[in-house]
Amino acid sequence: MAASIAVEESSVQARMARPSRFGDKAFEWLTLAMALTVVVLVVLIGWQLWRGSTLAIQKFGFHFLTTSTWDPVAEQFGALPFIYGTLVSSLIALLIAVPLGIATAAYLTELAPLWIRQPLVSLIEMLAAIPSVILGLWGIFVMIPWLRDYPFPFLKRFFGWIPLFSGPIYGPCMFAGGIIIAIMILPIITSVSREILRSVPDLQREAAYALGATRWEATRIAVLSYAKKGLFGAVILGLGRALGETMAVTMVIGNTPQIAASLFKPGYTLASVIANEFTEATTDMYLQALFEVGLVLFGTTILVNLLAQLLLRTIAVKSATRAVQ
Amino acid sequence: MRQFGGMMKFQLPKILGLIVALGLSATASAQMMINGAGATFPYPIYSKWFDEYAKVDPSVRFNYQSIGSGGGQKQILAQTVDFGASDGPMSDDNLAKAPGKILHIPTVAGAVVISYNLDGNPALKLDGETVADIFLGKIKKWNDPKIAASNPGAKLPDKEIVVVHRSDGSGTTFIFTDYLSKISPEWKGKAGNNTSVNWPTGIGGKGNEGVSGQVKQTPGSIGYVELIYAIQNKMPYADVKNAAGQFVKPTIESVTAALETANIPDDFRFSMTNDSGSNAYPIAGATWLLVYEQQKDPAKGKKLVEFLKWALTKGEGMAKDLHYAPLPDAVQQRVLKRIDEIKS
């Protein structure tokens, strides 16, 4: 009996290991081709951006990344304020959206009564469906006047001694840009986090409760900590969106290429300047400079993602060593 | 996904145009399709013209993509369209790149108004130097003596001026900075004249709607928008002192008045800002269609010429309803003569 099972198993293994099956091969090639398409697309986009900006790259060289003048009349172009604006507005967005998104996901999977879960999830998904130009208009007519009249003066009064919250308040500013991005990336962070928390096995939770953990402890240790890697992935997805977000940000950030300590000052992002100026750029150098801004945005996105992956790996290694200890 | 969404939006008009074009060619294969692309400012009147012209000559259809003046110039240079459209005349550099001679056909003109947000909506009068100094960031408060000098009796608050300008490249900015460059040597040196400039001060709003939105929302702000936006949004706008020393209200009539006295060369690449006429509003500009003098496709060329002649006569009569200033008769005659020189 046992012997016959062993024979059957080995024949299954043999069958699976046999490489000559045409269907398997075809499937392998097909999926490989699909995966390669993505790679080819990324390389082509990068190459095209590079080709479109060779003149500007030759003329400005590395100074393009380190100077702050953006003067289409004199054809002097430096992208530093745009790089700064993209990074700072995305950072503000993450600082707001990550705690909010993960906490919402934790509430939805761990604590919320069953009847409330589905309506809340639908609401969050609806937030993702709002077109960005509508969000931007809402930003101009509702969010900015409110921010200017209540939260900003409050921040200035109590934290005005920090340069971040100093200076006059006009309304459109870096802070407002960050908040709009936060609203836009909140649904993706929440939805992905929720899926990840839902995939945490119930055994984890039961084990924690069995050891006498409170609900908070069980959520923190058995669920959130277990899902750390996946949650980090959710944040990266949100960050990717934040870096490339264009229309709504353009409408509230103030579009001024400057690097200012205060978040109440207007700023500018890489994606915004392309959206703003590409259609009416008539000279070659101007167009090339805008192409180079696209290349810089492309590079920034890849770089930030790589850094995030690296960070993730360090965290994973650290927590693994801690677990061993 | 997000980035792709953005790209899709950018491509959508083209794709829709393609679908419409395919659909039409399938249903009426005898119909000729004339393609154009360019400026957004004249888009409302151009689409009205194309609609009306379909009744005059049903055998020809127009497909116009309002992708911006830069795109219009690029596409006519690349000969991917039958005509281009631009809010600013093409530069000598760009014209030199063309495979043939490109004609500028002025169609209509529009005014750029200076709008503001002040308590009590006082009617303001501004002269050119004051406007330049405000946009240079040199005049910082509303009760500055330079503003007060032209506005005796107006209640001007001791409040900071918030400058709002266009953040996107636009013909509106081109006209406004063209005016400031003529008025103020300092402006010319520091910022200059283009569809987008290095602004010395202020907040950038996207599009006419962005600037008018921000001016309406920000007390103490000042910005420039197309006349029609100020009218539609019920925003106050200033009378501006012209070269003859008169304060003139921006209206269709005062823009046409500027066209009457403007110095228009034979290639029709002209600027009409700071015009010398006594009734001329000084911040105004024309918009142009760009066509090759030598048409490649004789049949298409013939139809295009017929349309242009119709637009410059019958079409001009529709301008006022859409808040564009029509060309004065004398200019119309000159342009019609030039259209006759198009060879096909």
> What pLDDT sits at residue A324?
52
Chain B residues with CB under 8 Å of A140 CB are: 210, 213-214, 217
Q: For residue A120, give every residue at least 6 positions away whose Cβ sits within 8 Å of its Cβ, in sequence order, or none.
A: A104, A108, A112
Higher per-residue pLDDT: A311 or A5: A311
**What whole-number distance in Å separates Cα of residue A117 and Cα of residue B144?**
59
Residue of B nearest to A301 (CA): B3
**Beta partners for B241?**
B247
3-state secondary structure A216-246: HHHHHHHHHCCCHHHHHHHHHHHHHHHHHCC
CB B127 within 8 A of CB B113: no
Tell whether A93 and A54 lie within a shared domain.
Answer: no
> What pLDDT sits at residue A317?
73
**What whole-number distance in Å separates Cα of residue B146 and Cα of residue B156?**
11
φ and ψ at A301, to 5 degrees? -60, -45
Tell whether A85 and A220 lie within a shared domain.
Answer: yes
pLDDT digits (tens, 9 = 90+) for A86-142: 999 999 999 999 999 999 999 999 999 999 999 999 999 999 899 999 999 999 999
What distances in angstroms separate CA B225 from CA A194, A195, B248, one per listed residue? Answer: 46, 48, 17
CB B206 within 8 A of CB B227: no
Tell whether A157 and A18 lie within a shared domain.
Answer: no
Tell whether A55 and A70 lie within a shared domain.
Answer: no
Q: Which of B2, B94, B204 faces A255 most closely, judged by CB atoms?
A: B204
Chain B residues with CB under 8 Å of A76 CB are: 198
Is there a contact between A245 and B2 if contact means CB atoms under 8 Å apart?
Answer: yes
- Assign residue A186 the CATH number of its domain: 1.10.3720.10
Tell whether A15 and A112 lie within a shared domain.
Answer: no
Q: Is A138 on the interface with B (CB under 8 A)?
A: no
Q: Is A254 on the interface with B (CB under 8 A)?
A: yes
Which residues, numbered 59 to 78 in chain B, qualify as contacts with chain A under a Cβ-Cβ cut-off of 8 Å?
67-71, 73-74
Q: Which of A20, A38, A60 is the last residue of a domain?
A: A60
Tell whether A94 and A154 lie within a shared domain.
Answer: yes
Chain B residues with CB under 8 Å of A256 CB are: 199, 202-204
> What pLDDT sits at residue B11?
53
What distances in angstroms separate CA A16 from CA A6, B71, B126, one per listed residue? Answer: 15, 58, 85
> What pLDDT sits at residue B59?
93
Is there a contact between B167 and A247 if contact means CB atoms under 8 Å apart?
Answer: no
Tell whether A128 and A268 lie within a shared domain.
Answer: yes
Collect the ranges in chain B with pLDDT lower than 70.
1-30
Q: For residue A231, give every residue at least 6 positions away whose Cβ sits within 8 Å of its Cβ, in sequence order, or none.
A: A102, A193, A196, A224
- Reported confidence tier of residue A321, pLDDT bands at 50, 70, 90: low
CA distance A90 to chain B (A): 15
Q: Is A240 on the interface with B (CB under 8 A)?
A: yes
Tell whether A85 and A10 lie within a shared domain.
Answer: no
Q: Is A151 on the interface with B (CB under 8 A)?
A: no
Q: Is A73 on the interface with B (CB under 8 A)?
A: yes
- A38 pLDDT above the threshold of 90: yes
- Residue A85: closest CA among A152, A186, A172: A172
CA distance A57 to chain B (A): 20
CA distance B147 to chain A (A): 22
Write the DSSP symbol of residue B30.
Answer: T
CA distance B220 to chain A (A): 10
Q: Is B160 on the interface with A (CB under 8 A)?
A: yes
CA distance A52 to chain B (A): 15
Write the DSSP symbol of residue A164.
Answer: G
> What pLDDT sits at residue B210?
87
Tell whether A108 and A136 lie within a shared domain.
Answer: yes
Best interface-test mutation with A: which of B141, B181, B214, B215 has the largest number of A CBs within 10 A?
Answer: B214
CA A151-A153-A159 angle, 5° bins: 95
Rg (CA), chain A: 25
Q: Which of A43, A60, A77 is the last residue of a domain?
A: A60
Q: Which of A170, A276, A282 faces B167 most closely, judged by CB atoms?
A: A276
Tell whether A46 and A84 lie within a shared domain.
Answer: no
**What whole-number distance in Å separates Cα of residue A249 and Cα of residue A256?**
12
Mean pLDDT of A232-253: 92
- Reported confidence tier of residue A320, pLDDT bands at 50, 70, 90: low
Q: Is B192 on the interface with A (CB under 8 A)?
A: yes
Q: Which of B94, B205, B217 faces A282 most closely, judged by CB atoms?
A: B94
**What whole-number distance in Å separates Cα of residue B69 and Cα of residue B71?**
5
**What whole-number distance in Å separates Cα of residue B109 and Cα of residue A31?**
58
Pairing relation of β-strands B284-292 and B247-248? unpaired
Centroid of chain to Cα B3: 30
Q: What ipTM score was computed for the predicted complex, to two decimals?
A: 0.78
- Structure tokens, A159: 């934290």
pTM over 0.90? The answer is no
- Structure tokens, A167: 């200076």
Per-residue DSSP letters for A251-262? HHH-------S-
**What whole-number distance in Å separates Cα of residue B154 and Cα of residue B156?**
6
- Residue B37: closest CA among B78, B93, B5, B1: B78
> What pLDDT sits at residue B10?
47
pLDDT digits (tens, 9 = 90+) for B195-236: 899 999 999 998 888 899 899 988 999 999 999 889 888 999
Sign of the torsion angle spanned by Cα atoms B6, B8, B11, B13: negative
- Residue A180: closest CA among A101, A90, A65, A240: A90
Tell whether A110 and A217 lie within a shared domain.
Answer: yes
Range of the domain at A22: 2-60
pLDDT digits (tens, 9 = 90+) for B128-174: 999 999 999 999 999 999 999 999 988 899 999 999 999 998 889 99
Q: Which of A23, A38, A60 is the last residue of a domain?
A: A60
Best interface-test mutation with B: which of A188, A279, A286 has the largest number of B CBs within 10 A?
Answer: A279
Tell whether A29 and A140 lie within a shared domain.
Answer: no
- A69 pLDDT above the threshold of 80: yes
Residue given tokens 């993209």 in the structure block: A86
**Beta partners for B38?**
B85
CB B127 within 8 A of CB B282: no
- Reported confidence tier of residue A16, pLDDT bands at 50, 70, 90: low
Look at chain A and report how many structural domains it folds into: 2
Higher per-residue pLDDT: A17 or B49: B49
> What pLDDT sits at residue B71?
87
